[in-house]
């Protein structure tokens, strides 16, 4: 047995040494990638901002009944065109008619009371002239007649109110337009003022869009520059100038954007149509522009890869983007003219990685020319 252990030990030691040697192998170095680069230079830029917009009516009314009741029928549907005075919906007016009849009966009773008080006053005038009653008694009769007259006027006013209430059982269109919303269905019990039908009145249309807080000043300034604010309708390439009409005084509490309305003018637009509002900014001198492919997001920041020509390594540099112009991005800060940045292959690089400048291959004709000249020699 001791002899056997002496034979196994060298074999075990050799195995352990081979395993430990395999674990110490170094990782393969990263390949030297070829990248396209561009020297940073300053130039001019005419950037523009785009905002999603929608065509909306200048006036859109949410119509409702002035009195409460059960909705009996609705005469229009979504998208229907309506005329001024057209009946849109009706509620149950039975209780309103009963109240109108009660008010009419009140008027009749007040009129009878007034007539009786007037007749009594005339008789007491004759009695006072004959000396059968005092002047104070006649004054009391005169006051009773005036009170009866006032009660009659009050009853008439109440009857007029009840008559109007009965007329409110029909919901009428205030003007010509198109139905853009339905808020109630037949059988529903409605309270006074509850919206039933939404009607967009015929007339001018607005291009409505929202602008972030940091850009509201630019939009207001664009209102004084002719043609600086334009609109492009969905599905087309042509643009038309816009006239700024209304700017919200306060930002939306949720989106923190300002709502802006621009006059669509005589554009042939449809309600709800999508559009794009373009804000042209004044030309800026001394700006830096790079291809969109040169910019990437790292750690929530916008950055580019800066090439060190001495060591041929790259490092990320945060930059501030000031806008876009076609397929190029305007760099507002972070770079200086003369620096060299990577403009292609940015998503496969690592900080400190060795790279080489990409050299495009020569065409077949260019390669054959040197060969022919060498053969002639």
Of 79 and 285, the structure prediction assigns the larger pLDDT to 79
Residue 75 placed within a domain: no
What is the sign, positive or negative, of the torsion defined by CA atoms of 111, 114, 120, 124?
A: negative
Domain count, the chain: 3
Under 8 Å between Cβ of 358 and 344: yes
Instruction: Locate 268 and state its tokens.
Output: 């042939």
Q: What is the pLDDT of residue 152?
A: 93
Residues 6 or more apart from 84 whose CB is under 8 A from it? 173, 174, 175, 176
Average pLDDT over every residue of 165-180: 92
Largest CA distance in the chain: 165
- To the nearest whole percent, how much of the chain has pLDDT over 90? 42
CA distances from 189 to 63, 70, 73, 100, 194 (A): 16, 4, 12, 21, 10
Other beta carbons less than 10 A from residue 153's beta carbon: 12
DSSP state of 354: B
Tell me if 73 is assigned to some domain: no
**Per-residue pLDDT at 16:** 44
With cut-offs at 50, 70 and 90, classify the pLDDT of residue 47: low
- Pair 262, 288 in one domain: no
Q: What is the pLDDT of residue 87?
A: 95
Cβ pair 240, 267 in contact under 8 A:
yes
Q: Is residue 18 part of a domain?
A: no
How far does Cα 242 stand from its chain's mean position?
Answer: 18
Question: How would residue 371 be classed by pLDDT, with cut points 50, 70 and 90?
Answer: very low
Mean pLDDT calculated for residue range 237-257: 90
Burial class of residue 172, CB neighbours in 10 A (0-12, 13-18, 19+) = middle
Residue 339 domain boundaries: 33-45+284-357
* C-alpha span between 371 and 203 (Å, rounded): 77
Last residue of a domain, one of 218, 245, 280: 280
Domain final position from 265, 280, 295: 280
What's residue 157's pLDDT? 94
Tell me: do 297 and 351 sit in the same domain: yes
217 confidence band (pLDDT: 50, 70, 90): confident
What's the Cα-to-Cα distance from 340 to each of 313, 335, 343, 355, rounded to whole Å?
A: 11, 10, 9, 13
> Is 70 inside a domain boundary?
no
Is 124 domain-assigned? yes
pLDDT for res 30 = 65
Q: Does 119 reside within a domain?
A: yes
Q: What is the mean pLDDT of the segment spanning 221-230?
A: 81
182 versus 3: the higher-pLDDT residue is 182
Residues 6+ apart with CB under 8 A from 247: 216, 219, 220, 258, 260, 261
Across the chain, what does the average pLDDT equal?
Answer: 84
Q: The domain that contains 159 carries what CATH number? A: 1.10.287
Q: What pLDDT shows up at residue 19?
A: 47
Could you tell me the CATH number of the domain that includes residue 331? 2.40.420.20
pLDDT tens-digit series, residues 342-353: 998 788 888 888
Q: What is the pLDDT of residues 328-341, one digit of tens each?
A: 888 888 888 889 99
Inside any domain, residue 98: yes
pLDDT at 73 over 90: yes
């Amino acid at each position: 047995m001791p002899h056997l252990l002496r034979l196994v030990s060298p074999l075990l030691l050799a195995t352990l040494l081979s395993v430990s040697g395999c674990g110490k192998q170094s990782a393969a170095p990263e390949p030297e990638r070829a990248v396209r680069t561009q020297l940073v230079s300053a130039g001019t830029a005419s950037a523009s901002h785009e905002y999603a917009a929608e065509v909306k009516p200048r006036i859109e009314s949410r119509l409702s009944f002035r009195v409460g009741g059960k909705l009996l029928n609705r005469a229009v549907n979504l998208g229907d065109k309506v005329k001024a005075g057209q009946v849109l919906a009706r509620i149950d007016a039975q209780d309103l008619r009963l109240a109108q009849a009660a008010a009419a009966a009140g008027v009749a009773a007040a009129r009878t009371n007034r007539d009786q008080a007037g007749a009594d006053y005339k008789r007491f005038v004759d009695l006072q002239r004959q000396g059968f009653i005092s002047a104070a008694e006649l004054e009391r009769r005169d006051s009773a007649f005036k009170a009866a007259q006032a009660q009659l006027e009050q009853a008439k006013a109440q009857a007029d109110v009840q008559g109007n209430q009965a007329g409110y059982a029909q919901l009428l269109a205030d003007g010509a337009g198109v139905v853009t919303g339905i808020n109630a269905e037949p059988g529903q019990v409605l309270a006074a003022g509850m919206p039933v039908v939404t009607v967009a009145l015929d007339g001018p249309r607005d291009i409505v869009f929202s602008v972030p807080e940091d850009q509201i000043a630019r939009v207001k300034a664009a209102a004084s520059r002719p043609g600086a604010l334009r609109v492009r309708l969905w599905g087309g390439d042509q643009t038309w100038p816009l006239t700024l009409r209304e700017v919200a005084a306060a930002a939306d509490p949720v989106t923190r954007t300002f709502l802006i309305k621009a006059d669509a003018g005589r554009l042939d637009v449809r309600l709800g149509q999508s559009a794009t509002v373009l804000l042209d900014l004044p030309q800026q001198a001394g700006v830096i522009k790079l291809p969109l492919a040169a910019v990437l997001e790292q750690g929530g920041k916008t950055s580019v890869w800066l090439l060190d020509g001495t060591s041929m390594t790259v490092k990320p540099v945060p930059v501030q983007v000031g806008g876009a112009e076609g397929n190029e991005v305007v760099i507002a800060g972070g770079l200086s003219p003369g620096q060299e940045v990577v403009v292609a292959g940015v998503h496969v690089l690592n900080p400190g990685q060795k790279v080489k400048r990409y050299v495009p291959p020569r065409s077949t004709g260019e390669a054959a020319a040197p060969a022919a000249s060498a053969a002639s020699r």
